[in-house]
Structure formats: structure tokens, C-alpha cells
Structure 1
Amino acid sequence: MRELLAPRSIALIGASGDPARLTARAQVYLRKHGYDGALHPVNPRSPEVLGERAYATVEDIPGEIDFAYILLNTEHVEGQIAAVAAKGAKVACILADGFAEAGPEGLARQQRCVEAAKAAGLRLLGPNSMGLINIPARIAVSVNAALEAPSLPAGRIALVSQSGSMLGAIMSRGAARGMGFSHLIATGNEADLSAGEIAAMLVDDPGVDAVMLFLEAIRQPQHYAHAAWKAHRAGKPLIAYKLGRSPYGAELATSHTGALAGSDAAAEAFFRAHGILRATMLESFLELPALALGRRPAVRPHRAVSVLTTTGGGGAMVVDALGVAGIEARVPDATASAALEAVNMHGHGRLLDMTLAGTKPDRIEAAIRALDKAGDTDAIIPVIGSSAQFRPADAVAGILAAAPHVRPVAAFLVPQADASLKLLAEAGIPAFRTPESLADAMRAFLDWRAPLAAPHVALPDIALPEAPDEADARDLFAALGLRTVYSRELEADHRFPVALKILSPDIAHKTELGGVSLNIPDAAALREAAAAMQASVAKAAPAARLNGFLIQPMAKGLAEVILGFRRDPEIGPVVLLGAGGVLAELHRDVALRLAPLHEAEAREMIAEVRALRVIEGWRGLPRGDVEGLVHAIVAVSRLAALPEIREAEINPLMIHQEGLTVADAWVVRA
């Protein structure tokens, strides 16, 4: 940790004597921003680099080093790994690209570097890393051009970014709102050290109060889970902004579950389970630390707020944006209304409109304190109009006076009001430039949970063939407690009408190939349907292996769901619940959680799927077997304990007033 975050002896391998070159920047910036440790430029062509003694090779450096920044071209990096380790370095940062992101050859090169580093006891930062900045310690071992700034605003928030260029972008945007940083670290490809592992180190730093994560992917998810537990114990929020929310590339597997459970949906479930706040807008990402610092996740959030405003239009924008985010601007309850009446204010609607009262500090303060009496809201949102631009001290004085004594406060300033924003930022009060970013931050804050420990599950006793078909999948789910009667024999004693399906390990969606026939009334019709199906499927999919037929009694449920399991390539096992049937991908009415899960999480999933309101007695309809569905979700999540299973699903799973029916099943081996 010390050698990474606060090295006292740094080697710059490939340092250039031309200050205009990228490979000269690290040395320039280190000295510019006050680094007073030992600095060792390595350049075989010059005994002096930028006025400091240089060394032809790493081996020529006297004594040991803590940290090596390798600034060489891609093809020369590998040869330096053993050399810097022999000099005592604990960490080497690699600037060059052309590794895993460049294809198979680059990936192989990256792996060789990792193996060499492990053998030498060296940790790697990067490749493709712009280095790190420790502002309080005056260490700027980075090539980011943002370090051209004459000074760097120090603070108690750390940033770990997989994108090196975003270090400077976020630092400059933070500085514009009075926000300083303790550390800014670029992890690049994360061949070794991950953002999650570094976040866990930063949580241990007494000079860090919160850690922000700018992510393009979640690599080594166990490190994030560990960091989140440490952060929760220390009362230091982890706040993430992750790219990849678009649906493109989300269809990663052949089953419906693979199509629906894209990486971003799984990432959202991951953040939720581990208590990591997740922003979806850059503006809200920058304000979330102020909203979360010094606070703990709410145990049972109301998902409601109190809004007061000095401008009707501005307040209405906030109410609308919050509503889109699933947060209600709530009418003051009886207690809050009485407190308002006591100071001659009247709260009868979703907005406490103070337009006529203006922004007199004592009135704003009194309103905030009165709204804090409400027993059914989570936060208070003051919306300030034009006075924030022209009379900043008066406009926000009431907020500044009340905020330290009440539940969370998040302000929206309708005009461009830099002076007011600065006053609020200096007081640690989140202040937003748009209603949408405020709503996004409030959603993230109210979604914030304490990290949830995965339940211990017994390993299911299941033997699965190498190429499983639907009958094998049904046997798998039966072993988990989801048993539905079926037969492989055409001449068995069936309970008609029945459904007939082709059995094949190669056909995931049988309906599209004529591999399903429903409502067969008798034995003769069954034999006829089987012969026709055999011929049809063999013609449509001549390469598919056909293992016979599956026959089961027809059934009709109150509702149909898709219940699936898969191993997400980023975060691991997840379970999915959604509106089922052949239109599952069209509806995309789904809920996703990490697997395995607890019963409480299963109930949350059921509540999130809109189509399942019909089984909860909606508008007098018969109630379905909700408890049976809860147990089914938990049972399917136990597949996380079987590494040989990559994905599995039931679609549809029919829900009756009592009991469930597995209508179709599928499993894919890892």
C-alpha cells in the first residue's frame, strides 16, 4: 500500500529529456507539484535528464526503489519487469498500450508481464495507465495533462478510474465546484491491480473519507466486494459511475436469460448487493460524495422527499424528475404540517411554494426544520430561483443554517449561480445544476444498502450429462425442489390433453423450429404429431441431435414468468425473474439479483416485476402461490454452487393458486 500510494523512491524508465514529449511529463509534474523523494530517470542516451542525474539502466540506480513508472514502447516493457523487481520495487506502472485491448497477441504479451511480475513479487498498475496522484503527499507520478495546472485542490475524496484521461476531467470539474481530492489513480487494463483492490487500500487511508470509481468494466469482482465491506465498516461510501448502460452487446448467451441479463443489469445488481452507490450521470457522480458523506444507508427508505421552492416552475421540474426516478415528492404529513403552521406556513401540496415569502434566510431555515418533522420522507430538497444568481449570500443562508441539523438536504439552483453553488459546496451540501442529476443522485442515495452477505447453500447433488436436453434440465430443477410430471414415452398412460416437445441439446428455442405441439387430445393424435415433428425438426435443423420426445399434461396458470440463472462474465452468478413466455425478450419486465440470494431478496424481485401484480390479488383476481415462487427463486439461485453450470432457465414457469408448473426448461454447461 505505501509503495503504491506514497512511494519515496521512484524510477522513471524511458524518461525523455525533451519536456515537450509525453514521456517527460511524469518527471516534470513530480517536481512541479513538490515531490521531494528520490527520483531516478532512466535513459541510456544521456547522463542527465531535465537537470537531474539519469541512469543508463535500472541496475545502475543506487539503492532500492519503491515504484517504477515504465514509459517505454510496448515491445520493451516485458524486459524491464525483472529488473525493477530486483531493485526492490513493489509496484510497476506501465504507460504503454497495445496489450490485452489489442487482440490475442497483445493479451499474450500482457499475460507474460503478469507472470513475470508474480514470479518476482511485483505488483503491476496498468498497462495503459496514466499513473497516480497523491495530492496531500505532493506525488504526481502521471502523464495526465491536467497536471499543467499551477496547483491541485486537495481534499479527502479519492478517485480510482480505469480511464486515465478521466482523472483530469473529474479533477477539473471537481475543482470548479470547490471539490478537492486526496488521490487520483488510473488502473488502465488492470492486468494485476484492480480498481476494487486499490479502493480497499484507500479505505484504510485515514486521509480518505470516500472513494469514487469511474469504471468501464468490473474486473475481479471479489475485490469490490471486499472493499465495500471495509468501506461500510469504516463509514466511507463507495460511489461508482460505470459505462455500458446501452443494450448493445448485452445479448451474451443463447437463452432468454442471457439476452435479458446483460452486463449492465448484472452490474446494477452487483452494486446494490454490495452497498456501492451507482450514479448514471457525471453531474450526480460528482455530487454524491457530499450527499453520502457521514451517513449510513437507510434501512427502510420511504423513497419520498419534501420539496420547498421559491419558484413554481423550478420546483415542478424537480418533482417531475424525481417521479421519473421513482421518488415521490410527498405532501407534508400531520406532524410536519403542524410545524409549518406554527411558523405561519401552509403545506397542502407536493410543493411547499415559498415564492411570495422569497428567500429570506430565516423563512427558508424555518421551512426546512419544519419539513424535517415529517415521518415519511428521506430528504429535503430546497429549490432556489433567481436570487441564487443575484443575491447568493441571502439565497442559500437558510439552507446553510438548517442543513447540519436535519435529514439529508440536496439543493437545486434554477439559474446559473456559481457563487451560491460555491457557498453550498464549501459547506458540504450537494447542489445541482439540473433536476435530472438531482433525481439521479437521490435515486442512488435511496438505493444504497448495507452490503449483503451471500447465504450459505448446500451443494445440490446433481449429475448432468455433457450435452443436456430439456429432460435433463427438468431433472436438474427437480433436484432443486421444482418437480413437474413429464414422460419420455409416447405410449405411456398420459393425462390428456398434453404438450409434445422435441428433445435436443442443440435447440434452445423449439417453437421456432416446429418442435412444440400443444393441446394434443388423445394417443392417436400424439403419435401423429410426433411423426410430423420429427420430420419437421430434422429438416429445419439437420445438424441437431434429436433425443426423442417429452410429453407433459397441459396446464394453465394465473401468470407465467421466466426464472433463470447465468454466470455473468463480469460479476459472476445472477438470478433473473421476469414476465415469461415467448414474449419475454419483448416485455423486458425483469428483476435481477446476485446468486445465491435470501428470501427477502426474492420477495423484492417479485415486487419489481409489474406483471406479477396479478398474483397478489390485484383488483380482486385470485392470489397465486407467491410463497412457492419465493422458494423457487431461492432454489434456482443455488445453482451458483455448481460451477459446471453456465446458465439455466425455466420459461415459462406457471404460477397457480397452489403450486407451480415447469412448462419449459433449459440448461447449458460451462
Structure 2
Amino acid sequence: MQKSSIDIFFEPKSIAIIGASPREGNMGRVILENLKKNFKEKIFVVNPKYEDVLNIKSYSSLNDIKDDIDVAIIAVDASKTLDIMKDVAEKKVKGVIIISGGFAETDSEEGIRVQNEVKDFAEKNGIRVLGPNCIGVYNAHNGIDTFFLPYERMRRPKKGPISIISQSGALLATLMDWAASKNIKIGKAINFGNKIDVDEIESMEYFGKDNETRVILMYLEGINPGKGRDFIETARRVTSIYKKPIILIKGGKTSNGAKAAKSHTASLAGSYDVFKAAAKQANIIIADDLEELFDIARVMSFNIKPLGNRVGIITNSGGHGVIASDKLAEYGLIVPELSDNTKKELRKIFPLRVSLHNPVDFTGDATPQHYEKVLEMMVKNDEADMFLIIALLQPSTMDLSIANIISNFTKKHFERPIAVVTIGAEHGEKLKELLENEGIPTFEFPDRASKALAMMSKCIKCSGKSFESCKKEELQKDAILETKKIVEKAINEDRMKLFEDEALRILNINEIETPNYCVAHNTDQLIQCKDIIKYPVAMKIISPDIIHKTDVGGVILNVEDDNRLIDGYYKLIKNVKNNLPKARINGVLIQEIVKNGQEIIIGGKRDLAFGPVVLFGLGGIYTEVLGDVSMRIAPIDSCDAKEMIEEIKSIKILEGYRGLEPVDKNALALAIMRVGELMINIPEITEMDINPVIANKKGALAVDARIIINRGGLIG
């Protein structure tokens, strides 16, 4: 395995525990007890108050230890951490795990100050830090276990292919305990708490390269400011190049959750909608809750890539089979009808009351052997790529031997995953236990099993997704320079919003097409405009003091000749002077009207963690009414842009639904990509709305644009 810079935490040759004592419940002591169980390398204790702890010599300081130390675990009060870090630097310790709390997560001035001092010192001295306010790392392959929870309080799972990244230590501990109870095998885990150094990005990279990891689970509350793009690129690399699926659950989805996340791990939890968009872009599967997180992990841990997305359902309960069939279809999997040949062969075995479709429904007198015969027949005739088995043990003809049949089948046909629904108190629990001991995923209800299979299929697609064919768009250097001049002029005039003609000019020079337009500051210029534009046109007042132009009579539509153009010019100025006398007038915008097409919105904003975000959806009045939008993080490639267009719920409208004219999706994709490039290259643009963009089969024209600016911009 190519070594990661955080490899030292998972494979140290020596560990020193600073602050361990003989006292029951002392965190350092618990860590020492855990390490002594399975860690075969050198363990040292540092505590000047004691000669030994649990029969291991206790040193007064790190520098009294003659051996080299790879990792130091700091389990002392936060106020003493900086002094210990100085010993760490002198001893040339490679990595530090700070399990203590009392830092920035307290939101106190003292906690923030101490954390910043530790962070600065570690960076200056090249010391890798995990934490503070964390439980550290777990590696079942070599006995590393820095969790300060005794075995009787937190069971350790069996060694397996799943690795966990968690921002919350307590949540990680409960996940590990729960996994152990369900016989879900976990190989490695990491918790980085306040993440002043090691974070989710580096952890993903480590597990991506790790030969002992096949599936990555992640709990995340927030991403540090400016790290969003690194997060996306790393996740893409892990899923598409290293072929490791990432399943994530996000904390801080709501404003209350975000507030709790901040107080919990000093994290800045951003907009959940933005995060979901980033996850799609990053090839990450988002689980709705912890139960779903492990449901997906259980089916993924087989390390099986199904041959396709066809599901065979075998059941002794018609109702459960119907629910499973509906849910599988809802989640995008196929429940195919059995071939005539398979039906004929099965009918020789089963009476007429058995429904030989898909689901295959045995009714109430099914036996375990019936399941075996159908499974083998469906594999022989290649009827399904994976199976959902519903086995109720209440009928007297059923017994626990079904567990052996399913287990033997999975060993024989390992390329065809199985999910089993076991419902029922005593008998259902026994079957569940037998199957899970064999590593076969079981579920209480068919809808959960269906979703787990669907998510597994989605994970496989994600891990096989390639980004090599995705094209990128770059703006012309001259266009960027001219855009900067326009923005700088507005900033120097203390304006936070560009004039409409400035916004349209920026779009034009950056190859985002607009209808023909002209700006008149007087009647002479108005006459010149007549030779540039074609009727009909719209006329709009330009003013830094008017927010809603229609409220002051600042818009005239469908102007169709020269006389109405001149009359309209004077009427607009008169309306504004009457309704808002102090408003400054900077001219009149005259723009050709686009008659045919679908109204679209393309917008941009900035997120603290991810930087520039681009939005796409139906425009005009539908933007706020429907809220049917998609988002991605800039820069946006051709694959991202295409997905943004395809994933809005109203995509059929853009494709020519019920006689509507289909739009040029390639033109829309280019506009999306160029908006992303604008947001990246001009950091002073904080918000951008192009609404509407009129799209038809000939292309897409940006009719109206609103660009908000700020000197220095935001992160991104």
C-alpha cells in the first residue's frame, strides 16, 4: 500500500500515553488496557506522579524515554497541552492524538485560544495531530485501539472490510458497538474531533489507498472553510480510481443541527442543499439515517459487484412480495417477469396455487427446499442478478434449515447478492442470528431490504464512474480582464449591484449569449439604438436606487415601432421622477424580446466551505413557486452540467413534453459551466441570478441578470 501521511496513526511501532494513571475510569488507563489486549508493539506511559501504571513503567516526561516514539496520546487537561507539545517536538514524535476536551468546541475564548496555539505549534514543528476532543483510531488488523471506552461498555466488531470516518467520537463508539451486535465487520475507524490537522479529506485518501478497506462509511457535521473542492476531488478519486464506495450521513442538516454541530466539534456546518449537491458531484452516497447507513454497508461488505440490476423476489407472503416489488421499482431496480422456459420447468415442481411470476409466491405451505429449487432454477436460466428473499417462519412447513440453504447458495453463487427479510419475534430473531453469523444481511421489512439493494447498485455505479471524458470550459483571459474592470468600477463607486447593462455586458464577453440590446442616456443615443435592435423590444430604466422597476413604472414591454420607442423613453423617465423623485437615472436599457422558449434560471452564490455554487432550474415565476432546482460546486465540467439539467423534476418540459418545443441542452450546459468559471475567476461576485434564460431548440439567451458584488468577495 502506498503510504499516507497519516499512516503513522494506524501503524505505529511505539506509543506513549501521557496522563495515564492507576485510577479506575482514567481515560489514559482505559486506553492502556485496550492496547495491552492486542497491540504487539512498544507501549510507554508518561506520568510523573507514578512509578508504574498497570505494571508498565511510568516516565516523568517524554524525553526520559530512550526509544523513539511514533505516536503520543495526550490525555491531560487542555491547559497543559501546549507544554506537552513542546516535549513532543523535542522528542521528535511523529504524531499526536489529543483525546482531551476543553478546546474550541466549548466556544469559550480560552478554549479557542489554546486550540489555536496548539495548532500553530504543531504546524510550525511538523507534528501531525488527530483531534483535539477525539477518541482517535482503531485498527483491528494490528490491535491499535485508542478509544477510551472499555470492552464491556463498547464491544469491538469482528475484523472486516468496512472502515469508518466520524467527526463525532460518541457516535463512532455507538456505531462500533451496534456493528458488533449485528455481526457487521469493521476493520478500521478514525475520529478527528475538532480536526485542527487530520480531517475527513486525508482520512478518505488513506482508506482509498488502503488494501484492507473495501467500503467507507462517514459521519460528517461540516467541512472547514475553503476545503470543499478538495473534499470533492478526493472523494471522486477514492470512488472512481480506487473503486471504494463512500456512504455518508450528514449532521447539521437543519439550522438547529448546524448550531449543535458547531458547539459539538467546533465545525461550521453549511447549507445541507449545497452539501447534497457536493456529494453528488463527489460520487458519494448519502444515507438518510444511521439505520440506512448500515443497511447499505451490510450489503456492500460482501464486496460483490452484481451482474446487473435485475432482482428476483422469492416469498411465502404475497403482501410482502408486492411491497418489495413496488419499492424495488421505486428505487430504480428491475423486477423482471420470469421467462416462459423457467415457468414451465418450475410448474413441473409446484402446484397451480404457487404464483410463478416475479415475485415467486409460494403461499403458506412453502418449505426451505422450495426456496432452494427456485433459487437454483433462476440462476441456471439467468433470471436475476440479485435476490430478495422473504422467509416467514410462522407456517409449520418452514424451519431454520432455510438459513443453511441461503448460506450455501451465497457461497456457491457469490456473484449474486442476497438480502433476506425475516419478520417475527422468536423464530424471526433466530433466523436473523443464524444468517448474520454467516455475514448475510437481514432486514425486518421488505422496504428496507429493497432500498439497501438499490443503494448497493447505486454504489457500484458510482465506484465505476469515470470522469476522464468530462470536458471543462475556460474563459478567455481578455474577457476576464474586462470583467474585472467593470466590477472594479462599480466597487469604486460604492455600488454592491451592477447595472443591468453591465451585467449583460459581462455575460456577453464571457460567451453567455444575450438578446441584442442598447443603452440610451439621451435622445441622440436613443435614435442610434433604432439601427441596432429589431422590434418588438422591452424598455427598462437603469438606476442604482430602484429595486423593483415595475413598482415605479420603470418597465415598458412590447414596443413595436420608432414612435413608441421615443414615447416610451420619455414616459419611463417621467414615471420615475413622479414616483421616486430622488432616484438617480443612468439611462434606459432597450432589449429585443425573445418570443419563444422556456424560462430557465442559472445562478451562482458562495458557500463558506465549498466556495462558488451554481444553481439551475425552471425560471420566471416558477423559480420560487416550484423550487425545482439542482446545484453543483464550481468548477463545473460537462458531466456535472448535464446531470444538473437532467435531475430537475421538470426535465420533461425541457425535452418537449406534450408538444412543447425541446430546448438546446448543450447550450444550457455551456452557460452553466461559464457561470461557474465566472464565479471562480471573479471572487468579488458574491451572487448572480440570470433569470430568465430563454431556451429553445436554437440555443439559450440570457434576458435578465442580477450580479451582486463585494470588495474582496468571500471564500471560494
Normalization by structure 2: what TM-score? 0.80
Which SS does the other structure have where 1:155 is aligned? coil
2: CA distance between counterparts of 1:515 and 1:192? 57
CA drift of 1:587 comes to 1.4
1: CA distance between counterparts of 2:466 and 2:256? 30
> 1:236 aligned to 219, 224, 244, which one?
244
CA drift of 1:573 comes to 4.1
User: Do the aligned partners of residues 36 and 399 (structure 1) sit closer, same or farther apart at CA in structure 2, a change above 3 Å counting?
Assistant: closer
CA drift of 1:618 comes to 1.3
Contact 1:410 / 1:430 at 8 angstroms: preserved in 2? yes
CA drift of 1:112 comes to 2.9
User: Do the aligned partners of residues 437 and 511 (structure 1) sit closer, same or farther apart at CA in structure 2, a change above 3 Å counting?
Assistant: farther
Equivalent residue, structure 2, for 1:279: 287
The answer to whether 1:610 aligns with 2:649 is: yes
The answer to whether 1:386 aligns with 2:393 is: yes
Map 1:7-86 onto structure 2 (within 5 A). Answer: 7-31=12-36, 33-86=37-90
> 1:315 aligned to 321, 329, 337, which one?
321
Contact 2:214 / 2:303 at 8 angstroms: preserved in 1? no
CA drift of 1:388 comes to 10
2: CA distance between counterparts of 1:486 and 1:365? 74
Moved more, 71-80 or 336-345: 336-345
Equivalent residue, structure 2, for 1:437: 448
Which SS does the other structure have where 2:616 is aligned? strand
Moved more, 64-73 or 649-658: 649-658
Equivalent residue, structure 1, for 2:494: none
1: CA distance between counterparts of 2:94 and 2:396? 51
Moved more, 169-178 or 487-496: 487-496
Equivalent residue, structure 2, for 1:519: 557
Deviations 1:25-51 (A, max 9, x none): 3223323x3334333332233333344
> 1:662 aligned to 702, 705, 708, which one?
702
CA drift of 1:89 comes to 1.4
Query: Partner amino acid for 1:419?
Result: K
1: CA distance between counterparts of 2:134 and 2:395? 41
Equivalent residue, structure 1, for 2:673: 634
The answer to whether 1:480 aligns with 2:510 is: yes
Map 1:349-368 onto structure 2 (within 5 A). Answer: 351-356=359-364, 358-367=366-375
Which SS does the other structure have where 2:161 is aligned? strand
2: CA distance between counterparts of 1:223 and 1:559? 35
Map 1:26-425 onto structure 2 (within 5 A). Answer: 26-31=31-36, 33-103=37-107, 105=109, 106-144=111-149, 148-149=153-154, 152-219=157-224, 220-221=227-228, 222=230, 225-226=233-234, 228-230=236-238, 232-246=240-254, 263-293=271-301, 305-324=311-330, 326-327=331-332, 330-332=335-337, 336-344=339-347, 351-356=359-364, 358-367=366-375, 370=378, 379-386=386-393, 393-403=400-410, 404-416=413-425, 417-425=428-436
Query: Partner amino acid for 1:6?
Result: E
The answer to whether 1:498 aligns with 2:538 is: yes
Contact 2:554 / 2:575 at 8 angstroms: preserved in 1? no
Map 1:475-624 onto structure 2 (within 5 A). Answer: 475-484=505-514, 485-489=516-520, 491=526, 492-493=529-530, 495-500=535-540, 502-504=542-544, 510=548, 517-519=555-557, 521=559, 522-523=564-565, 524-533=567-576, 549-624=588-663
CA drift of 1:397 comes to 4.2
Contact 1:455 / 1:597 at 8 angstroms: preserved in 2? no
User: Do the aligned partners of residues 207 and 602 (structure 1) sit closer, same or farther apart at CA in structure 2, a change above 3 Å counting?
Assistant: closer
Deviations 1:172-215 (A, max 9, x none): 21112212222222111211111231232233333333222222
2: CA distance between counterparts of 1:128 and 1:538? 60
Deviations 1:318-344 (A, max 9, x none): 3344455x42553426xx453233222
Larger Rg: 2
2: CA distance between counterparts of 1:632 and 1:396? 56
Contact 1:12 / 1:40 at 8 angstroms: preserved in 2? yes
2: CA distance between counterparts of 1:315 and 1:579? 39
Which SS does the other structure have where 2:195 is aligned? coil
Contact 1:212 / 1:240 at 8 angstroms: preserved in 2? yes
Contact 2:239 / 2:246 at 8 angstroms: preserved in 1? yes
Contact 1:279 / 1:441 at 8 angstroms: preserved in 2? no
Equivalent residue, structure 1, for 2:3: none
Moved more, 47-56 or 102-111: 102-111
CA drift of 1:512 comes to 9.3
Contact 1:389 / 1:419 at 8 angstroms: preserved in 2? no
Which SS does the other structure have where 1:610 is aligned? coil
Which SS does the other structure have where 1:54 is aligned? strand
2: CA distance between counterparts of 1:386 and 1:146? 35
Contact 1:616 / 1:624 at 8 angstroms: preserved in 2? yes
User: Do the aligned partners of residues 547 and 159 (structure 1) sit closer, same or farther apart at CA in structure 2, a change above 3 Å counting?
Assistant: farther
How much identity, in percent, do the aligned residues show? 25
What stretches of structure 1 of length at least 5 have no aligned partner?
A: 251-260
User: Do the aligned partners of residues 457 and 614 (structure 1) sit closer, same or farther apart at CA in structure 2, a change above 3 Å counting?
Assistant: closer
Contact 1:247 / 1:262 at 8 angstroms: preserved in 2? no
Equivalent residue, structure 2, for 1:256: none
1: CA distance between counterparts of 2:672 and 2:442? 41
Deviations 1:283-322 (A, max 9, x none): 22113234334658799x76x6443322122223333444
Moved more, 381-390 or 282-291: 381-390
The answer to whether 1:458 aligns with 2:462 is: no
Which SS does the other structure have where 1:381 is aligned? strand
2: CA distance between counterparts of 1:414 and 1:314? 10
Contact 1:238 / 1:276 at 8 angstroms: preserved in 2? yes
User: Do the aligned partners of residues 247 and 110 (structure 1) sit closer, same or farther apart at CA in structure 2, a change above 3 Å counting?
Assistant: closer
Deviations 1:543-574 (A, max 9, x none): xx975554423434432121123443334444
What stretches of structure 2 of length at least 5 have no aligned partner?
A: 1-5, 259-268, 492-496
Deviations 1:421-466 (A, max 9, x none): 3343344433223344334434433433225356443344322314
Which SS does the other structure have where 1:184 is aligned? strand
User: Do the aligned partners of residues 283 and 560 (structure 1) sit closer, same or farther apart at CA in structure 2, a change above 3 Å counting?
Assistant: same
Which SS does the other structure have where 2:520 is aligned? coil
Number of equivalenced pairs: 648
Which SS does the other structure have where 2:45 is aligned? strand
Contact 2:641 / 2:669 at 8 angstroms: preserved in 1? yes
Contact 1:228 / 1:238 at 8 angstroms: preserved in 2? no
Query: Partner amino acid for 2:695?
Result: I
2: CA distance between counterparts of 1:563 and 1:423? 54
